[in-house]
Structure 1
Amino acid sequence: MNAIQKTKNATNAFARNWANFVIKYKWPVLLLTILLAVGLGSQGKMEFDGDYHVFFSESNPELEAFDALQEKYTKDDNIILVLAPKNGNVFTRENLIAIEELTADAWNTPYSSRVDAVTNFQHTSANADDLYVDDLSYDSASKTDAEILEIREKALKEPLLVHRIINEEGSVTAINVTVRLPGENSAAEIPEVTIATREMISKFKESHPQFDVYTTGLVPLNTAFFEASQRDLMLTLLMLLIVVVVTFVLTRNIFATIATLIVVLFSIMSAVGFIGLNGIKLTPPSAVFPTMILTLAVADSIHILITYLQKVRKDGLEKKEALVESMRLNFMPVFITSLTTVIGFLTLNYGDVPPFWDLGNIVAFGMCMAFLFSTTTLPALMAIFPIWKSKKVREQREEKMGWYTKLGMYVVKQPVRLTIISIVVIAVLTFLAGKNVFNDEFVEYFDTTVQFRQDSDFINENLTGFYNVELSVGSGESGGINNPEYLQKLTEFEDWLEDQPEVVHVNAFSEVARRVNRSMHGDDETFYRVPKNREEAAQYLLLYELSLPFGLDLNNQINVDKSESRVTVTLENNSSAEMIAFAERSEKWLKDNAPESMHALAVSPTLMFSKLGFRQADSMVKGNIIALILISLVLMIALKNLKLGLLSIIPNVTPVLVGFGLWYLLKGTINTGMVIVFGMTLGIIVDDTVHFMSKFLRARREMGYDAKAAIIYAFETVGKALVTTTVVLLAGFTVLSTSSFALNSYMARITVIIIIAALIIDFILLPSLLILVSKEKEKAVKISKAQVQLDK
């Protein structure tokens, strides 16, 4: 007896002994697994974290640079309230009164530190040598029509307002509320601010129905992340219902459906316990773990149940014999698919996005528990439940099985032709896969059903861009921002920025210096330039700062020792590549045209998200390679055949390439969520390959079938189970594809494509390749009944 046969016998003996043990002690096994699931579940504690910072690791260089900039100035988490009066004119007495009221109310927002609006804009004017700094419009109720017209003219000529606080037509205006969150508990702080803001808007709309109100900013962004997590968690309930329906329809057995439901619930409960024990906070990417575990856990149960029911209905075995035989045939394949799935999800830890680390670890643990419950709780329950035999059902099963036999016969007749066609199609789609463009606009993380996305799109189209880039431009010395040479070069940089096609608005200290200089010279337009000497500039700045009211100072624009100033560039919505290219152009202009002290690094949350996807893709390369190597080694060991182990790489890798090729034809752009698909789906699609090849090898080794007969046997015995698990997987990821969070929905949609491609490849290309690489022994081999029909 050769080594392969000895190992095979040992594996079969272990699976049989395991099954016999579980069946014999079914009640104690069931009780222990219930205690385990409930015990783990009792430790569960699901908290949500909506702060956008969770998407970046502590070592992320863009995050470090952004935090450093905020340390120098003020931390600018904000809420932008955009008011669109229905009469299309902000500058009416009634509308200005309403804006003043909302501006005053906005100061009561929790943690607010600054409120900027068109009415409280600090307008400078001069009277002789005196500088006056006043709100652009105060006590609007007492303004005459002429005064309101003058306010309008001033506002629409002010560079610091147009395209930032008000649009060119004066039909839409914004109130920007800056909040300084303590950062001690974002899960409580962000909802607190959000609730207060929504109540304030609701009251405002009741009092002033002439306005439409739109909201965006970093706090609403964090809220959108938080709410997306909760919405996606609710998808679990829908998926549970689908699993119950699909499992019942495909197995036609209520007890099998109940057992499957219990296994997936136990798996999810265990994962919830894992979350609580490890102190993990859920985010939009990791909140989909129940749907993923539920979907993947069902696959384990389905294989065992389908074989069990076939043995009872078709082969006429008794319940215990059928259970033992099903466990013998499926224990190792289920173990291998569970192991490869765990490996695939664990490789998400090689990425650069912490929420995906959590997703990978949670699902990996959940899959370990799913394997345990599938091989203990499931057979114990089926041993307890009665089995119903029906001649009608048996006839239906035999009729359906005939379809898989016919498919097997079709494939074995033309393996060369099918292989060539498959390779050509795969090659074309692989070529197209490389043409996908990476784009990670974080506003588009949410689909158009989400209020944050709708509001942000309106604001982008009617007022200002939501994307920005910030630079802290140094002077090289304390008080250096008053140096005329620094101010002149900063003005040149500001002018260059404004000339860039994607720029909507530039906010730089040089604009303040020019405006104050003009006012200090009797509002003479010829003095709308930076001061010519340092002392004069410093004196003007001091006078201006002393005139500013509390909360509207320049701390958000210049640092404490006045050695650096902050340049904020607002951009149109751009793709990730365009955003990064603009940032690099800006940095290069300073390097090429300004002294070294003025060289600066472009930073911002929008830029961080733009670079995140590329960084994630680069870091996942290593994880994907490791996953491919480990999974291939596992398959070689499991199949006990180096040649077939290597061959198995083809049906495991090509579905991903085919999926991205088809995605190019459908969409053409990929985001951060899709970067993880290779490692994640690699473990999932191994399920089809392992089960098909294991049945093929069983027919070859145990029954002595030739390659063609073994292929037909594989179709007959496992075809139904593969289609069933594929349907369940498709149901799960289709539900997930309805998520309003694009990282999840796009990932789910391409996974659906990949899963369909995997089944087709495993039904067409894999059996064709197995026939072509199999060498028949010289001794006589057995053939199946189907093969006899084929030969005729």
Structure 2
Amino acid sequence: MNADRFASGIIKWRWAIIVLTFVIVGLISSGITSIGFSSNYRVFFSPDNEQLVAFETIQNTYSKSDNVLMVIEPKGGKVFDRDVLAAIQDLTERSWQLPYSTRVDSITNYQHTRAEEDDLIVADLVEFPEDVDLNYVENVALNEPLLVRRLISPEAHVTAINVTVQLPQLSESEMPEVVAAARKLSREFEEEYPSLSVYMTGSVMLGNAFSESAQKDMKNLMPIMLMVIIVTLWLLLRSFTGTIATVLVIFLSVLTAMGMFGHLGWTLTGPSTSAPTVITTMAVADCVHILVSFLFNLRQGMQKEAAMQESIRINLQPIFITSLTTVLGFMTMNFSEVPPFRDLGNTVAIGVIAAFFLSVFFLPALVCILPVSATKQAQRKSKAMDSLAGFIIDNRRGVLIGSGIVTLVLFALIPTNQINDDFIGYFKNSVEFRADTEFTADNLTGMYNIAYSLEQGESNGISTPEFLRQIEAFTDWLKAKDEVTNVETITEIFKRLNKNMHGDDQTYFKLPENKELAAQYLLLYEMSLPYGLDLNNQLNVDKSSVRILITMENIVTSETLKLEQEIAQWLDKNTDIETYYAASPNLMFSHIGKRNVDSMVMGVGYALVVIVLIMCIVLRSLKLGAVSVIPNIVPIGATFGIWGVMQGDVGISIGTGVGMILGIVIDNTVHFLSKYQRARREKDYSAEEAVRYAFSMVGTALWVTTFVLVAGFMVLALSDFNMNAYMGIFTACTITLALIFDFFALPALLLWLDKAPGNKARSMSKAENA
């Protein structure tokens, strides 16, 4: 079926198409009711992710480490006060009531050991706040390595209660349930103790922040996006019917995509919540091209049906190609190491496919049954496009050289970027989780940590003196590093027990020299510990391995990877420990960033080859197919140059979004080249005339769609979730540069390539009269 017959069929069966569209979309959109939100940060990793597997292994070997850290700041600036200690003890006891809590640690219930004649006394550091010796408690706490910069600040102005939870992971509501209970407890505590302020961080709060940001974006960004679209379309098209029809196409496209999202059983996460906003933006482009040509035809005196039929005829192929390349671009996100970005890419791809069918079936059918008129304002836009074409034609050499110089300068700045992420920085400063986490980092401890499981290999082998000495040396080396704030290690307990068992003689604050003696000390200590405060968070069941928890400043991923490498080198060089592995949420995020970029480079490479082949086939020209690559690669590279100067860190979202961006920016090139090629082949125009023709036919549509796309992606910049915000800013910048390149460098490049002896330029008016 050719384009003419297709277009006439749309006009003929317009009522049936409209009714059938609503029925199909209605059925598909029923899947929306099945969509849920995930608040688990583990969704960012595939089940076979190496670091996730290591993390789960440590979680299953030792106690779970998911936590809520409640940081308490006395307004008087002094923790070691009777009233403050009584309040901390109260909150410690009440924290056991939080859902799924398995352990609560604070300075008041810290299991302090001391010698009393021949007995080892193990008890809470603060049992009775009203009678406690404040100087003694302060001295013990501030000299205990397991407490300082973990549960008490060196200045004793801030303290913390760490609640460890064991989530069954049977429902997505578990984490929000814990957070809701913790917030309720925090509010009640602050009301009862107005002189104390509570800040909450930890892995549970992190996971919940992902979910809350996602839900907030869904609630706030879509209305803003629709408002931007409606106002922009009205101002640029001056057509009430066209605006309403486009909004309907957007609405139906989003319903279709999100309905399929639900039917496929996917779960919304931080990145995938931007899908409706991105689909809204992408759906506009096809509609604008059809409507701009339609309104142009009306101004030329055509009847409504004929104007629409002609618009479909000249736009069907380029719209199909742009939709195909856009889908390919978003499908490259399946190369990402991050499952939520795969969901985003697949969802938007579904939305783009839906938008294509709605644009070529539903939109023309709807417009043809509604009243519509064309204003004269667009004539001024056409004159502006003709003037721009004239400028490019007259100054082609200067434009080409200038474009080349700017490109080289911006490309030279690309190396200023580095692959880096900061998962606290995933959230804007206004997000409560980030504010509380930064307060904690500034006043107490970092949230970033790495857990190391070091295996001795034999049952009860961790009491071996040589193994303990190697652990102590490792711990001392770690403590000397600037980025390390605290090291939780079993050797501190062994040294303290050895001192206690020698009458608290400080000279015995060292590791036991006998394996059997060390094992006896450990057994005696464990038997004295209360429920919930055992050593399962540091030792495995048969005591053949230990866990060392390294807490760090809030460092970026590149620094985390560097530290991991340094640790591996130190362990290999200075110990005979053969089996060890490291894991933590921030270590997982650190590794996935680099792997994600590597995999996306491969994906974009494949997509680029396929897109070039498609362009060569559609344009029936190897030369134009090859040329089509330049105006799409250059803007992406140029944006990386600008990004390197303005920001400098390429995170997961930008690394993943390159393929998506490629699929978007090529749309303008497809439309411009298709009109240029039509003029050259069908109308036998010269290169200069073909450039004028392309500008007159699609120039207005291109800058209208670009304006809408940029506005749409800039709406993402309002997101509290910086993954989405950065992706939106980067994409908007690239699309803007792509339009500039398509409007200036591409025509100049075409004129240079098509330059041939004896090919005399003719004016457009002469060509039309020929």
Whole-Å separation in 2 of the counterparts to 1:53 and 1:786: 66
- Maintained 8 Å contact 2:331/2:349: yes
CA distance in 2, matches of 1:451, 1:781: 64
Within the candidate set 168, 187, 191, 2:154 is matched to 168
Please state how far the C-alpha of 1:775 moved relative to its aligned partner.
Answer: 4.5
Q: In the alignment, is the contact (CA less than 8 A) between 1:20 and 1:324 conserved in 2?
A: yes
Counterpart mapping for 1:723-738 below 5 A: 723-738=703-718
- Cα distance in 2 for partners of 1:775, 1:431 equals 30
1:454 is aligned to 435
Specify the code of the residue in structure 2 equivalent to 1:601.
Answer: Y
Residue 322 of structure 1 pairs with residue 307 of structure 2: yes
**Aligned-pair identity (%):** 44
Q: Distance in 2 between matches of 1:89 and 1:287?
A: 44
Counterpart CA distance in 1 for 2:64 and 2:718 is 35
Q: Is 2:271 aligned against 1:274?
A: no
Corresponding position: 1:143 with 2:131:
yes
Q: Structure 2 CA distance, aligned partners of 1:261 and 1:294? A: 9
C-alpha spacing 1:786/1:669, structure 2 compared with 1 (3 Å): farther
Structure 1 position 662 matched with structure 2 position 662: no
2:545 to 564, 571, 590: 564
Task: Name the residue aligned to 2:99.
Answer: 110
Distance in 2 between residues matched to 1:756 and 1:786, nearest whole Å: 34
Matches within 5 A, 1:617-696: 617-696=597-676
What is the CA–CA distance in structure 2 between the aligned matches of 1:98 and 1:462, rounded to whole Å? 20
Unaligned segments of structure 2, at least 5 residues: none
Kindly provide the amino acid, as one letter, of the partner of residue 514 in structure 1. K
Secondary structure of the residue that 2:399 maps to in structure 1? helix
Please give the alpha-carbon distance, in whole angstroms, between the structure 1 residues aligned to 2:754 and 2:392: 15
* Contact 1:703–1:782 (Cα < 8 Å) also in 2: no
- AA aligned opposite 1:507: E
Deviation at 1:464, TM superposition (A): 0.5
TM-score normalised by L of structure 2 = 0.98
**Does 2:65 align with 1:76?**
yes
The Cα offsets for residues 20-78 of structure 1, whole Å up to 9 and x where unpaired, read as 11111110010011111111101222211110000001111111111111111111110
1:758 pairs with one of 738, 747, 750: 738
* Residue type at the aligned position of 1:138: E
- Kindly indicate whether the alpha-carbon contact (under 8 Å) linking 2:689 and 2:761 is maintained by their aligned counterparts in 1: no
Distance 1:401 1:334 in 2: 21
What's the TM-score once normalised by structure 1's chain length?
0.95
Cα pair 1:78 1:179 within 8 Å, conserved: yes
For residues 686 and 786 of structure 1, the distance between their equivalents in structure 2, rounded to whole angstroms, comes to: 32
Contact 1:470-1:569 at 8 Å conserved across structures: yes
- Offset of 1:291 from its aligned partner? 0.3
Contact 1:708 1:787 (8 Å CA) reproduced? no
Contact conserved, 2:686 with 2:760, CA < 8 A, in 1? no
Residue 786 of structure 1: how far off its partner (Å): 9.3
Counterpart residue identity of residue 646, structure 1? A
Cα displacement (A) at 1:399: 2.0
Letter paired with 1:246: T
1:574 counterpart = 2:532: no
Which of 289, 303, 307 is matched with 2:275 structurally? 289
The equivalent of 1:254 in structure 2 is 240
SS in 2 for 1:551: coil
For residues 574-604 of structure 1, the C-alpha deviation after alignment (integer angstroms, 9 at most, x for no partner) is 121111111111121111111134x422221
Match among 363, 369, 380 for residue 384 of structure 1: 369
CA–CA distance in structure 2, aligned partners of residues 56 and 576 of structure 1 = 16
Q: Name 1:769's counterpart in structure 2.
A: 749
Supply the AA of the counterpart residue of 1:735.
Answer: V
* 8 Å Cα contact 1:705/1:783 also seen in 2: no
Which runs of 5 or more residues in structure 1 are unaligned? 1-12
Query: RMSD value over aligned CA atoms?
Result: 1.4
**For residues 187-232 of structure 1, what are the alpha-carbon distances to aligned partners after superposition, in whole Å with 9 as ceiling and x for unaligned?**
1101111111111011001101111111100100010000111112
1:122 equivalenced with 2:111 (yes/no): yes
Matched residue of 1:376: which SS? helix
Letter of the 2:659 counterpart: G
Q: Does 1:375 align with 2:360?
A: yes
**2:1 pairs with 1:16:** no
Distance 1:621 1:129 in 2: 67
CA contact (8 A) 1:587 1:601 kept: no
Between the aligned partners of 1:32 and 1:433, the Cα distance in structure 2 is 50
Kept after mapping to 1: 8 A contact 2:333/2:657: no
2:688·2:761 contact (CA, 8 Å) conserved in 1?
no
**CA distance, structure 2, for counterparts of residue 198 and residue 152 of structure 1:** 29
Matched, 1:239 2:228: no
Deviation, structure 1 residue 148: 1.7
3-state secondary structure, aligned to 1:443: coil
The correspondence for 1:65, drawn from 45, 54, 57, is 54
Structure 1 residues 89-121: Cα deviation after superposition (integer angstroms, max 9, x where no partner): 011111111111110110000000000001000
Task: Find runs of 4+ consecutive structure 1 residues off by over 2 angstroms.
Answer: 775-783, 785-788
The DSSP-based 3-state class of the residue aligned with 1:552 is coil
Mapped to 2, the partners of 1:122 and 1:695 lie a distance apart of 78
* Correspondence list, 1:413-432, <5 A: 413-432=394-413
1:397 aligns with 2:403: no
Contact 2:416 2:645 in 1 (8 A): no
Aligned counterpart in structure 1 of residue 336 of structure 2, from 351, 362, 382: 351
> What SS is found at the alignment partner of 1:282?
coil
What's the offset of the Cα at 1:357? Answer: 0.8
CA distance in 2, matches of 1:631, 1:174: 55
Query: Is residue 632–residue 645 contact of structure 1 (8 Å, CA) maintained in 2?
Result: yes
2:23 paired with 1:35: yes
| Pair 1:715 & 2:705 matched | no
**1:149 offset after TM fit, Å?**
2.2
1:307 aligned to which of 255, 277, 293:
293
Within the candidate set 141, 149, 152, 2:138 is matched to 152
Tell me how far 1:781 sits from its aligned partner: 7.0
**SS in structure 2 at match of 1:558:** coil
SS of 2:487 mapped into structure 1: strand
- The aligned counterpart of 1:91 is 80
CA contact (8 A) 2:175 2:208 kept: yes
Q: 1:233 to 1:786 in 2, by over 3 A?
A: farther
Give 1:783 deviation, angstroms.
Answer: 3.2
Structure 2 counterpart of 1:10: none
Aligned with 1:570: secondary structure?
strand
After superposition, give the CA deviation of every residue in 1:4-30 in whole Å (9 maximum; x if it has no partner): xxxxxxxxx722211111111110010
Contact in 2 for aligned 1:707/1:776 (Cα 8 Å):
no
Contact kept, 8 Å, 1:587 with 1:602, in 2: the verdict is no
Q: Which residue of 1 aligns with 2:40?
A: 51
Residues 779/760 of structure 1: CA separation in 2 closer, same or farther (3 Å cut): closer
> Deviation digits for residues 462-483 of structure 1, max 9, x if unmatched?
0001111111111121101111
Query: Which residue number corresponds to residue 4 of structure 1?
Result: none
Q: Which residue of 1 aligns with 2:189?
A: 204
Residue by residue over 1:119-152, the C-alpha shift from the partner in whole angstroms, topping out at 9 and shown as x without a partner, is 0000000012210011000121x325xx122211
Give the distance between the partners of 2:446 and 2:483, measured in 1 at CA: 10
* Contact 2:685–2:767 (CA under 8 A) maintained in structure 1: no
In the TM superposition, residue 776 of structure 1 has moved relative to its aligned partner by 4.7
Q: Which amino acid in 1 is paired with 2:351?
A: G
Q: What's the counterpart of residue 511 of structure 2?
A: 530
Partners of 1:602 and 1:780 in 2: CA distance: 71
| Distance in 2, Cα, partners of 1:104 & 1:780 | 90
More displaced stretch, 757-766 vs 153-162: 153-162
